[in-house]
Amino acid sequence: MAPFDKIGVMANGNGQLARRFHEATKHSPVSVRTNPHFLDWENEPARYKDYPEIDPIPLPMELPRAGLPAARVVSAAPEQTYADIEPSLKQIAYLLYHSGGITKKILYPHGELYFRAAACAGALYPIEIYLVCGDLSGLKAGVYHFSPRDFALHPLRRGDYRAVLTQASAGEEAVSQAAAVIVLTAITWRSSWKYQTRSYRYHYWDSGTILANGLAAAQAQGLQARVVMGFVDRKIDHLLGIDGESEKSICLMPVGRTQRPHPEAPPAYPTLDLTSSPASTDAVRYPLIEHIHADSQLNSPAEVASYRKILVKAASRPEGVWLRPAESSAEEPDAPSLEWVIIHRGSTRQFQREAVSLEAFSKALEGMTRGFHADWLPLQPLFLNDLYLNVHAVEGVPPGAYVYHPDLGELEELKRGDFRSDSAYLCLGQELGGDAGFTIFFLADLKTIFERYGSRGYRLAQIEAGILGGKLYLMAYALGLGATGLTFFDDLTVNFFSPHALGKDAIFVAACGLPQRPHQPRGRLVYLQPG
């Protein structure tokens, strides 16, 4: 366990508690069968955070439209340098709507259910979005909370607090030059109500899909964006007025670039005394979540600076039989736009067993693994997660188990065979895992990650998998496919891909294939514009 600092908050641990958390939250056939947990519908958490004493600032409902093909935007290689562009209020609204806005609802005979732009486990939406900005065209400098239900901003602090984020991130260049910074937090009870202690993993998956959308939306608007996981947690929590326990800071995403220096951070600023709506009347606390979050905190700029030394992975050297997916053909003239894909995207509930074209398969893999700017990643696509695949039905690719090497764009064959039933079983017996054209299992060497990043590395592995999964969602729908995230039996997944995967840990699973339209829709689907 990590040592406590002088004011009683644990410093970033060496990974021992993170390992304990990971082991305690693994799924196995026995743990799934014997878990007595049930959903307490009378204590269901609210999905929206409100500030009843604050007058919201409505966001513009007429948003700029880039109209760029989604596949091109998502698979674009990140630029090394961006022009100095400060986003306007309309561009901020564009980012917020396409990252976390309400995009659709389903009308049922007994009510309606709203869905947001990014995929979220169980549609529980534990992630809150905040904005810290200087003066922008149409918006004064301040700290704001984004309300997706009202499509509005709640002003929490007036004035320019970007320098606080610069200090908290140890002078991270993207933060110090940003015109605005989006901050994601998680209200734990919204997710733990269903997923219990394991929900801490889901916080980072759910944040990752939001970030995948946000990175693509920023790219479409020509704005620099970067994911920052190195920051002093308590400084961010204090700035936003959250306690760091029931609601906790997850990540920063600086957006836009300006050469205008940020005003100096105020030497002191008061604790926010604002009334906000509780998640529910009787939230249940899961101590191991609080312990892992405290153990993975960074408590000083010096710790942040030390964290930021990138773990350099060796380039791939595939062994055995491997193949290169087909070269992608020219872009379709009527390829769906990013805006269309985000609004219409949804988790696939049933797959056809028909084969995915080799071209779509290749484009999906290439697009989802094209690098993105993050403070733990080099520009080349060498991720903390390794991508293992069970290919069930892809034209020109023999069914079997593979590992994908993004830096080479090549598949390494591990074993041939029809593994549909294995995939379904590994995904907790869910048929989606086996019916899909291919299922991707994200595995990571947590031991090496902990040696480099300490317990903070656990957050990195989870959120990176969420971002890659979110990019797969976007690529799939851009290519006429469907995708869904799935949970899994941890150790059985590693065993299946061993000996190649020996020593790694299962992090995330996503299935992709041709969607099967339901014969009897569950309800009437209505797409919603901002506001």
Question: How far is it, in rounded angstroms, from Cα 335 to Cα 212?
Answer: 19
Q: Residues 437-493: pLDDT tens digits? A: 999 999 999 999 999 999 999 999 999 999 999 999 999 999 999 999 999 999 999
Looking at residue 378, its pLDDT comes to 84
Looking at residue 244, its pLDDT comes to 96
Q: How many Cα atoms sit within 13 Å of 274 on the Cβ side?
A: 24
What's the whole-number mean pLDDT along residues 501-508? 98
What's the whole-number mean pLDDT along residues 420-425? 99
Chain mean pLDDT for the chain: 93
Looking at residue 520, its pLDDT comes to 60
Coil/strand/helix, residue 421: helix
What's the whole-number mean pLDDT along residues 410-419? 96
Looking at residue 109, its pLDDT comes to 87
What's the whole-number mean pLDDT along residues 343-372? 95
Confidence of residue 184 (pLDDT cuts 50, 70, 90): very high
Looking at residue 519, its pLDDT comes to 58
Neighbours of 16 (CB within 10 A): 14
Looking at residue 4, its pLDDT comes to 31
Confidence of residue 125 (pLDDT cuts 50, 70, 90): very high
* 379 or 509, higher pLDDT: 509
Q: Residues 8-64: pLDDT tens digits? A: 344 578 999 999 999 999 999 999 999 999 999 999 999 999 999 999 999 999 999
Question: How far is it, in rounded angstroms, from Cα 383 to Cα 464?
Answer: 8
Q: Residues 241-251: pLDDT tens digits? A: 999 999 999 99
Neighbours of 116 (CB within 10 A): 21
What's the whole-number mean pLDDT along residues 176-204? 98
Q: Which fold has domain 80-264+283-307?
A: NADH Oxidase (3.40.109)
pLDDT at residue 363 tops 80:
yes
Least confident of 103-117, 302-316, 416-430: 302-316
pLDDT at residue 435 tops 50:
yes
Classify burial at 518, counting beta carbons within 10 Å of its beta carbon; exposed 0-12, middle 13-18, buried 19 or more.
exposed
Whole-model pTM over 0.85 = yes
DSSP assigned state of 372: -
pLDDT at residue 430 tops 80:
yes
Q: Residues 206-264: pLDDT tens digits? A: 999 999 999 999 999 999 999 999 999 999 999 999 999 999 999 999 999 998 888 88
* 308 or 124, higher pLDDT: 124
Q: Residues 61-117: pLDDT tens digits? A: 999 999 999 999 999 987 766 778 899 999 999 999 999 999 999 999 888 999 999
CB 470 within 8 A of CB 211: yes
Q: What are the DSSP calls for 478-531, one per residue? A: HTT-EEEEE---HHHHHHHHTTTTTT-EEEEEEEEEPBPPPSS-SSEEEE----
Looking at residue 78, its pLDDT comes to 76
CA 291, 295, 300, 304 torsion-angle sign: negative
Q: Residues 130-181: pLDDT tens digits? A: 999 999 999 999 999 999 999 999 999 999 999 999 999 999 999 999 999 9
Structure tokens at 129: 């979005």
Question: How far is it, in rounded angstroms, from Cα 27 to Cα 201?
Answer: 12
Looking at residue 13, its pLDDT comes to 85
**Could you tell me where in the chain the CATH 3.40.109.10 domains are found?**
80-264+283-307, 322-513
* CA distances, 342 to each of 282, 317, 338, 475, 511 (Å): 34, 36, 6, 10, 18
Structure tokens at 127: 């992630």
Q: Which CATH superfamily is domain 322-513 in?
A: NADH Oxidase (3.40.109.10)
pLDDT at residue 328 tops 80:
no
What's the whole-number mean pLDDT along residues 414-427? 98
What does R_g of the chain's alpha carbons equal in angstroms?
22
Question: Containing H/E element for 344?
Answer: helix 338-344
Neighbours of 68 (CB within 10 A): 17
Name 149's Cβ contacts closer than 8 Å, sequence gap at least 6. Answer: 48, 102
pLDDT at residue 1 tops 50:
no
Cis peptide before 499 (omega within 30 of 0): yes
Question: How far is it, in rounded angstroms, from Cα 146 to Cα 180?
Answer: 14
pLDDT at residue 203 tops 60:
yes
Question: How far is it, in rounded angstroms, from Cα 457 to Cα 105?
Answer: 36
